[in-house]
């Protein structure tokens, strides 16, 4: 019998006294190394709980994801930030196999994948289009969520279904101590797990990869979430400027004061007011026509012209917009220079920014990489190919 120490604790093992002990010869005391989880999930509220499963509540309102998705279509800052990540992140990829696979077999499997990938999506330009969607999904929702749907004969993948992450709920299985994915559905009749409109997804076909988070909670957190408040502030600022421009113009407004005509004998008060209004309307048309011709005339001491500039009222507005855009860029996890705003960025700073962006892209690509590796492996296994492992490498 031999004793092994781990972190100062003695772990009892059995086997021959040799320098190298085979795995099959080593046995550990379950009292020292328990073959199960000892800690318990420390998440807050739960959506559903019974003796078998506990549906974990997300750490944020899932309804915010559709809002971010709409803003990615309509807001120029969020749209540009997303476009930057998609264009720089989708560099194309290659599939590599373990060294035991012969080159002839590698070529067959790559040719098979190239043929099958074209059929996996009905609305995108092959796998590159699907990868664009995957990267966009990660940035909008903080997670990659899709289902690899096998064909009826189980000889390959029929298609890839993009599943909105906001409808995914995670359940903690108290027996296996694993997290299991469910889909929350409303308005349709489906085989439900319980009264909570939850259908259990198949972990062999459905895959969910979260981008970030610091707890055991499996939900991904949308990276653009901190930018939402700046969207509201920016819209309020733009609405105010739009109102000023619509009311008084871009440069300012001309004020014309005229001598008011006297009331005529026998003229009623109503007729007098009507005549004054018509007099002002006619004067307005004459002044507008004169300014188009570059000439305006009036009676001395009877007509007073004064131009009021609005540009002086915009002093300091650019600084407010700059502050908002800097905070906006921070919420989007990008430097303002990547959004077309040059606020004194130096060449050295650009190098740092680009290096940081490359690291950011690597983290996002890793989610897509793991997802593609699983799907490609599933397709090839179902098609009857034999290999130990494959890896996806972005160009």
The SS3 of residue 382 is helix
pLDDT over 80 at 12, yes or no: no
Q: In what order do the strands lie in the sheet with 178-184?
A: 46-49, 53-56, 168-173, 178-184, 198-200
What whole-number distance in Å separates Cα of residue 21 and Cα of residue 18?
Answer: 6
pLDDT over 70 at 6, yes or no: no
Q: Residue 50's Cα: distance from chain center in Å? A: 33
| Token couple for 307 | 């131009």
Cβ atoms of residues 390 and 95 within 8 Å = yes
Higher pLDDT, 36 or 327: 36
pLDDT at 196: 62
pLDDT over 60 at 17, yes or no: no
What whole-number distance in Å separates Cα of residue 224 and Cα of residue 65?
Answer: 9
Confidence of residue 183 (pLDDT cuts 50, 70, 90): very high
CA distances from 39 to 36, 174, 176, 328 (A): 9, 12, 13, 39
Question: Per mean pLDDT, which of 1-15, 124-138, 282-296 is the most reliable?
Answer: 124-138
| Token couple for 368 | 């897509």
Higher pLDDT, 92 or 48: 92
Kindly report the backbone phi and psi dihedral angles of residue 335, in degrees, each rounded to the nearest multiple of 5, phi listed first: -75, 150
pLDDT over 70 at 185, yes or no: yes
What whole-number distance in Å separates Cα of residue 385 and Cα of residue 106?
Answer: 10
Q: Tell me, letter by letter, the H, E, C secondary structure of 244-276.
A: HHHHHCCCEEEEEEECCCCCCCCCCHHHHHHHH
pLDDT over 70 at 327, yes or no: no
Span 348-391, pLDDT tens digits: 677 777 788 888 889 899 999 999 999 999 999 999 999 999 99
CA-based R_g, the chain, Å? 34
Q: Residue 206's Cα: distance from chain center in Å? A: 20
When pLDDT is averaged across residues 226-236 and rounded to a whole number, the result is 78
What whole-number distance in Å separates Cα of residue 163 and Cα of residue 205?
Answer: 12
Q: What is the pTM of this model?
A: 0.71
What whole-number distance in Å separates Cα of residue 46 and Cα of residue 196?
Answer: 12
199-208, 278-287, 313-322, 363-372, range with the lowest pLDDT: 313-322
Cβ atoms of residues 183 and 167 within 8 Å = yes
The SS3 of residue 17 is coil
DSSP 173-235: ETTTTEEEEEEE--SS----SSTT-EEE--TTTEEEEE---SSS------TTGGGHHHHHHHH
Higher pLDDT, 291 or 325: 325
What whole-number distance in Å separates Cα of residue 257 and Cα of residue 280?
Answer: 10
| Token couple for 295 | 């000439």
Higher pLDDT, 75 or 4: 75
Closest to 387 (Cα-Cα) out of 128, 106, 168: 106
pLDDT at 133: 94
The SS3 of residue 280 is helix
DSSP state of 2: E
List helix spans (H) across the chain: 64-74, 76-89, 103-117, 126-141, 228-248, 269-292, 317-331, 347-382
Give Cβ neighbours of residue 358 (< 8 Å, ≥ 6 apart).
none
């Amino acid at each position: 019998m031999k004793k092994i120490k781990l972190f100062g604790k003695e772990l009892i093992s059995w086997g021959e006294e040799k320098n190298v002990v085979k795995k099959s010869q080593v046995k550990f005391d379950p009292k020292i190394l328990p073959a199960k989880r000892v800690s318990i999930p420390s998440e807050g509220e739960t959506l559903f709980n019974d003796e078998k499963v506990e549906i974990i509540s997300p750490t944020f309102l899932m309804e915010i994801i559709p809002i971010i998705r709409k803003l990615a279509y309509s807001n120029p800052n969020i749209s540009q930030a997303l476009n930057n990540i998609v264009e720089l992140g989708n560099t194309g990829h290659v599939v590599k196999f373990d060294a035991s696979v012969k080159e002839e077999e590698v070529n067959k499997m790559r040719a098979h994948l190239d043929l099958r990938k074209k059929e996996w999506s009905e609305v995108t330009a092959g796998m590159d289009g699907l990868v664009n969607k995957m990267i966009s999904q990660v940035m909008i929702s903080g997670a990659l969520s899709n289902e690899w749907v096998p064909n009826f004969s189980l000889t390959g993948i029929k298609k890839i279904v993009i599943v909105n992450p906001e409808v995914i709920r995670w359940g903690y299985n108290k027996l296996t101590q694993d997290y299991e994915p469910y889909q929350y559905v409303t308005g349709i009749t489906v085989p439900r797990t319980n009264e909570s409109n939850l259908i259990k997804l198949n972990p062999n076909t459905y895959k969910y990869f979260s981008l970030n988070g610091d707890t055991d909670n499996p939900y991904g957190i949308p990276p653009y979430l901190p930018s939402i408040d700046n969207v509201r502030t920016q819209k309020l600022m733009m609405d105010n400027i739009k109102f000023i421009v619509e009311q008084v113009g871009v440069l300012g407004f001309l004020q014309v004061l005229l001598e008011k005509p006297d009331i005529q004998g026998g003229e009623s008060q109503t007729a007098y007011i009507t005549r004054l209004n018509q007099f002002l309307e006619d004067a307005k048309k004459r002044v507008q026509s004169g300014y188009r011709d570059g000439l305006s005339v009036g009676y001395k001491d009877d007509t007073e012209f004064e131009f009021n500039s609005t540009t002086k009222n915009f002093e300091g507005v650019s600084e407010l917009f700059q502050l908002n855009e800097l905070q906006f860029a921070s919420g989007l996890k990008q430097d303002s220079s990547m959004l077309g705003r040059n606020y004194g960025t130096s060449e050295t700073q650009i190098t740092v920014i680009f290096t940081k962006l490359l690291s950011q892209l690597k983290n996002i690509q890793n989610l897509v990489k793991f997802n593609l590796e699983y799907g490609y492996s599933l397709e090839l296994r179902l098609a009857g190919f034999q290999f130990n492992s494959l890896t996806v490498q972005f160009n």
